[in-house]
Amino acid sequence: MINNALKEKLIKFRKKRDWEKFHKPKDLAISLSIEAAELLENFQWKTDEEISGMLKADKHKRITEEVADIVIYLTYLCNDLGIDINKAVSRKLKINQKKYPSAKVRGSAKKYNEY
The pLDDT, as a whole number, for residue 114 is 82
59 or 66, greater pLDDT? 66
Residue 78 has pLDDT above 90, yes or no: yes
Whole-model pTM? 0.89
Residue 21 binned pLDDT confidence (cut-offs 50, 70, 90): very high
Residue 57 main-chain phi, psi, to 5 deg: -110, -160
Residue 81 has pLDDT above 90, yes or no: yes
The pLDDT, as a whole number, for residue 17 is 98
CB-CB contact of 90 with 100 (8 Å) = no
Separation of alpha carbons 102 and 110, rounded Å: 12
Instruction: Give Cα separations from 115 to 68, 101, 102, 112 (angstroms).
Output: 35, 11, 12, 6
Separation of alpha carbons 76 and 1, rounded Å: 13
Q: How many helices (H) and strands (E) does the chain have?
A: 6, 0
43 or 110, greater pLDDT? 43
